[in-house]
Amino acid sequence: MIHPIEGRYGRAEVKAVFEEENKLQRMLDVEAALSRAHAAVGNIPKKDADIISRKAKTRHVKVARVRAIEREINHDVMAVVKALSEQCGESGKHVHLGATSNDITDTALALQLKDYIACLEDALKGVRKELARQARKNIDLVCVGRTHAQHAVPTTYGLKFAIYALEVQRHVERLREAKRRILVGQMTGAVGTQAAFGKHAVRIQRHVMKDLGLRTVEVSNQVIQRDRHAEFMLLLALIAETLNKVATEIRNLQRTEIDEVREGFGKKQVGSSTMPHKMNPIHAERIGGIARVIKADAMAALENIPLWHERDLTNSSCERIIIPEACILTDYMLQLTIDLVKNLAFNKANIKRNLEMTQGRIMAESVMIKLSEKGYGRQRAHAVVRDCALESYRKNIHFKGTLMKNRTVTKYLSEDEIDRALDPERYVGTSKQQVKAALKKLR
């Protein structure tokens, strides 16, 4: 094993989409559809198209035979054409009629991506479901919000997870939109003019794509234009970064000093080979690491857009690596994230401890707003409350003590009003309504 995809990372059913035998089958599917299109417009006898279609299966055209031919002629697509033709007898003379290599490989790739996208969409919905479940479950769980890695004002775990769930929903929507541009095939021949297909060229292309369940390119040269593939790869990178975003937050919240949320830890799981006490966020860290690979693959896909003239081969070798890799690893990250979010453990005692860590100072804005509501100007209220908060910090005393000593504060607010303003449970605004609205949309 050289690449971790071979044994360590990725689902078998997703890897199968990109394995050599399935890739060959998809190329054969395109060749068969082309023969049927030629028969439909009267270019070849239907019986020949039937024979080609019947023989265009990997049980007849073996990977080993294609490899053997390719070693001899050093051309992968022509090796497939020869291997199929020799299975078809006299009808083999009609195989690949009018087509160029990328008519077959690019259209076959679209078929592979069509299968993969079905898996991807299901996996995205699986992550969305688990994030929505945590949002619903923790809709009232108040915690400290953090900005610049410092305690800010209270928020809720329900709101955190609703934000993530809606971000994943946007990826579901982006994927649906991207399908129109990535699930396309072509039958345009050398440099895209369709000259070799003759007077029925447009009908042949339309017939092939309808047969295969793909959209047809509007115009092309010798390859399907790589902005389409780059867009799809960038979408995978966007998905990966959202998963990284969730994982990074969980890693931070699992830090010993914070310890509010942590990954599930199996009964026999080992955290460290030398430190028996360790319970490391390995799923979240793996998600973060793999996200870097998918981003790099997306950058390579951008480099594939500017090919020389009507085509060159610089994209081909690159795509053999980056497309299967990014697709398999993105799906794997989604599966990891489903497991991660499903099995989160919340430490409510520490959530409460952290809410109280700054001795009430996270409620400074709440006090400022109450003073403003009483008619003491917002800017002046900010200055007064800031002084009280800094005194609380410097003297290491509770914020309420410095507020109660401040004559301006006590002139406008009673002790009961100060207590209410210092209650985190009372200062989460519309977070509950926002979560409910998000969950309604996600349904």
Summarised one tens digit per residue, pLDDT across range 85-127 is 999 999 999 999 999 999 999 999 999 999 999 999 999 999 9
Q: Which of 53, 96, 272, 283 is catalytic?
A: 272
Question: Which tokens hold the place of 200?
Answer: 């029925």
End-to-end CA distance of the chain: 43
Question: Which tokens hold the place of 187?
Answer: 């039958």
Q: Is 35 a catalytic residue?
A: no
Residues of the chain with pLDDT under 50: none
Is residue 437 within 8 Å of 386, Cβ to Cβ?
no
Is CATH 1.10.275.10 the classification given to domain 10-97?
yes
Question: Which tokens hold the place of 56?
Answer: 């265009």
Is CATH 1.20.200.10 the classification given to domain 99-262+276-357?
yes
Q: Is 283 a catalytic residue?
A: no
The closest of 413, 324, 428, 334 to 374, measured between CA atoms, is 413
User: 400 Cβ partners below 8 Å, 6+ apart?
Assistant: 360, 418, 419, 422
pLDDT at residue 274, rounded to an integer: 83
Q: What is the DSSP letter of 402?
A: H
pLDDT at residue 277, rounded to an integer: 87
The number of angstroms, rounded, from the C-alpha of 371 to the middle of its chain's C-alpha atoms is: 46
Exposure string for 392-409, b = 16+ CB within 10 A, e = fewer: beeeeebbbebbeebebb
pLDDT at residue 199, rounded to an integer: 96
Is residue 22 within 8 Å of 328, Cβ to Cβ?
no
CATH code of the region 361-421: 1.10.40.30
Quickly list DSSP for 288-355.
Answer: HHHHHHHHHHHHHHHHTS--STT--SHHHHHHHHHHHHHHHHHHHHHHHHHHHHHT-EE-HHHHHHHH
Quickly list DSSP for 6-30.
Answer: GTTSS-HHHHHHHSHHHHHHHHHHH
Q: Which of 38, 85, 91, 148 is catalytic?
A: 148
Rg (CA), the chain: 30
Chain segment 316-362, per-residue pLDDT in tens: 999 999 999 999 999 999 999 999 999 999 999 999 999 999 999 99
**Segments making up each domain of the chain, as ranges:** 10-97, 99-262+276-357, 361-421
